[in-house]
Structure 1
Amino acid sequence: MISFASKDLIALVMAFVWPLTRILGLIAVAPPFGNRTVPTRIKLGFGIVIAFIITPTIPPFADADPLSLAGMMILIQQFVIGLGMGFVMRVAFAAIEMAGTVAGMTMGLGFASFFDPQTRGNTSAISQFLVLVATVLFFALNAHHSLLLALMDSFKSIPISTTLQSGFDFHRLAIWGEQIFIGGLRLSMPLIAALLLANVALGILTRAAPQLNLFGIGFTITITVGFLILATILPYLSVPIENLFQLAIETIQTLGQSSRHSIP
């Protein structure tokens, strides 16, 4: 008959709960898993399944009483690490949202906004369209597999430890936030350049023929040019979006390094 001591049973449970906490922290934030439209039961079930798969591969770590201060600190530590890793992927999607917002405002569609349950704020229609395209590409490019592999490798680069020094590089995480502006500007640059030329042409036309009603034809022209350029560049957006996802995965993989260099 197999028997377990209470100490062994607690250690076995904690060996599953602590990795599960990091996994749930990532799922709670990282798109598209962390989308508010995804039911909480599905998120929890998905996290438990991933924990069952990852737990046997985790290196052994020091035992600690889960009800002690050290045990509670480990629990909080793992949740913060998971949130940080999910934040990296959230920034990648935020850059795409920013590109859509900038493009929509440049086209004159700043008023075409609606409530987004994900961000709990108003967002433009172009932004939501680009986010949907990016979500499809996220699964089509198997970026979700790379994200889960990076999560699995993080237990080696950032092991579960009873010390406060987790090895998590918060400096690198803070620098990664600049990708919201860099990635958003890169994705929206072709549309901004084309609309800038269209506005310059409208300005020259208005000076040449002052009797034209600029407000009457300007919005129609900018919106038409914006949609035409968007339809033209849409097939080519897969490459920069893929590079953005790849950079996010590489950043997650290097969060356990202690280097203080900025992200290229």
Structure 2
Amino acid sequence: MVPAELSADLISQWVGQHLWPLFRLASFLMVIPVFGTQLVPARVRLGLALLMTVLIAPLIPEVPQVEAFSADAVVITLQQILIGVGLGFALTALWQLFVIAGQMIAMQMGLGFASMMDPANGVNVPVLAQIYTITITLLFLAMNGHLVAFEVFIESFYIMPIGMEGLGQAGVWDLAHRISWMFVSAILLALPAVAAVFIVNISFGVMTRAAPQMNIFALGFPIGLIFGLFAIWVLHANFLPHFEQYTRETFDFMRQLQGQP
């Protein structure tokens, strides 16, 4: 028998106070970079989600009183998963931005064939994209970006309390439009190196037209590769300002997704 002091409403409140934040937090940790990659076992991510849920459960607002197995409880659970995945996707777009930029530069300069296995995602990516991924991961951790990400995520419990309402149609539409921001930012990041290598290729095309006996494949490829590496070295001087700008835009978008001005 259940003791008198442990009523069904009290048990439902306890379950909702911890289970729904766990769904939102676990969904966020399963998607975000660094923590949500294949390098981190699912048990570790789940344990971290449980630990953080226990810490933040007393700080979040009151949860709605609904039956544990009702249709409203299912809708609230799906809303928490959608919010966690949406905020995690906004942060994942920051990583994929630099991966796409590295792929664009590598394809233009002739390093597209030099690919390696990305242990985080389990796919083959160009070496330059993997170098960019490692660089931004180290910069993100060195700048305590993971702490800011968790701070912005915990703010979502106050801006978007646990309930029937979540991201809504406008939030899902903003997430879909975030893909265009990712590609546009990647093109802007890779445009100087791509344009420089493209000018070199045009120059060799003119030289081949003027001197057809010159072997463009034997001469143009290594020079274009060397010039592309030089362009990457020059662009690394402005790598940190671009990373700070895109990281700031990502956190602003995460707050905007929650309804903050």
User: In the aligned structure 2, how far is the partner of 1:153 from the partner of 1:258?
Assistant: 10
2:94 touches 2:250 (CA, 8 Å); kept in 1? yes
**Partner in structure 2 of residue 229 of structure 1:** 231
* 2:46 partner letter: L
2:152 touches 2:254 (CA, 8 Å); kept in 1? yes
TM-score normalised by structure 2 residue count? 0.91
User: In the aligned structure 1, how far is the partner of 2:98 from the partner of 2:37?
Assistant: 15
**Partner in structure 2 of residue 171 of structure 1:** 173
**Partner in structure 2 of residue 155 of structure 1:** 157
* 1:100 partner letter: G
User: In the aligned structure 1, how far is the partner of 2:181 from the partner of 2:94?
Assistant: 7
Deviation for aligned residue 1:192: 0.7
**Partner in structure 2 of residue 103 of structure 1:** 105
User: In the aligned structure 1, how far is the partner of 2:113 from the partner of 2:136?
Assistant: 23
User: In the aligned structure 2, how far is the partner of 1:248 from the partner of 1:100?
Assistant: 19
User: In the aligned structure 2, how far is the partner of 1:166 from the partner of 1:223?
Assistant: 49
User: In the aligned structure 1, how far is the partner of 2:74 from the partner of 2:120?
Assistant: 30
**Partner in structure 2 of residue 262 of structure 1:** none
* 1:175 partner letter: H
User: In the aligned structure 2, how far is the partner of 1:39 from the partner of 1:190?
Assistant: 38
* 2:69 partner letter: L
- More displaced stretch, 148-157 vs 66-75: 66-75
2:22 touches 2:53 (CA, 8 Å); kept in 1? yes
Deviation for aligned residue 1:37: 1.3
1:104 touches 1:110 (CA, 8 Å); kept in 2? yes
Deviation for aligned residue 1:148: 0.7
> Helix, strand or coil for the counterpart of 2:257?
coil
* 1:106 partner letter: Q
**Partner in structure 2 of residue 50 of structure 1:** 52
User: In the aligned structure 1, how far is the partner of 2:151 from the partner of 2:110?
Assistant: 42
2:159 touches 2:258 (CA, 8 Å); kept in 1? yes
TM-score normalised by structure 1 residue count? 0.90
> Helix, strand or coil for the counterpart of 2:73?
helix
2:83 touches 2:167 (CA, 8 Å); kept in 1? no
* 2:10 partner letter: D
> Helix, strand or coil for the counterpart of 1:21?
helix
Superposed CA offset, 1:68-89 (max 9, x none)? 2211221121011100110111
Superposed CA offset, 1:184-238 (max 9, x none)? 1121112112101211222232233322210011111111111111122113111
Aligned runs of 1:193-212 on 2, under 5 Å? 193-212=195-214
> Helix, strand or coil for the counterpart of 1:254?
helix
- Runs of at least 4 residues off by over 4 Å: none
Deviation for aligned residue 1:242: 1.6
More helix by share: 2
1:167 touches 1:258 (CA, 8 Å); kept in 2? no
Unaligned 5+ segments in structure 2 are none
**Partner in structure 1 of residue 34 of structure 2:** 32
Deviation for aligned residue 1:251: 0.8
**Partner in structure 2 of residue 219 of structure 1:** 221
1:141 touches 1:242 (CA, 8 Å); kept in 2? no
1:92 touches 1:179 (CA, 8 Å); kept in 2? no
RMSD: 2.1
2:32 touches 2:88 (CA, 8 Å); kept in 1? yes
User: In the aligned structure 2, how far is the partner of 1:201 from the partner of 1:22?
Assistant: 54
- More displaced stretch, 199-208 vs 102-111: 199-208
